[in-house]
Amino acid sequence: MAISQVIEILACSRTSWEDAAANTAKEASKTVRGIRGVNVQNQSAVVEKVKVAGYRLECKITFRVEQ
């Protein structure tokens, strides 16, 4: 029987939400093995001087627990 665990990650990018999502999996994979999926829960933007300066995502990462 496979068991999965879910952790919550906050990701950001100065480029786009897509870039932030890609960074989520890339950075999490440095310390978490067996990532199965990234579920974006919420997105927001940082505004500086009336321009979007950053893109933020709240994500849940699912990975398989090793036995």
3-state SS assignment for residue 53: strand
**Parent domain of 51:** 4-64
The domain that holds 11 is classified in CATH as 3.30.1660.10
CA-CA-CA-CA torsion for 44, 5, 65, 3, nearest 10 degrees?
-140
Number of domains comprising the chain? 1
* pLDDT for position 59: 94
Instruction: Read off the pLDDT of residues 12-53 as tens digits, 9 standing for 90 and up.
Output: 999 999 999 888 888 999 999 989 999 999 999 999 999 999
The pLDDT value recorded for residue 50 is 94
Q: Which residues contact 44 (CB under 8 A, 6 or more apart)?
A: 55, 56
pTM, whole model, 2 decimals?
Answer: 0.74
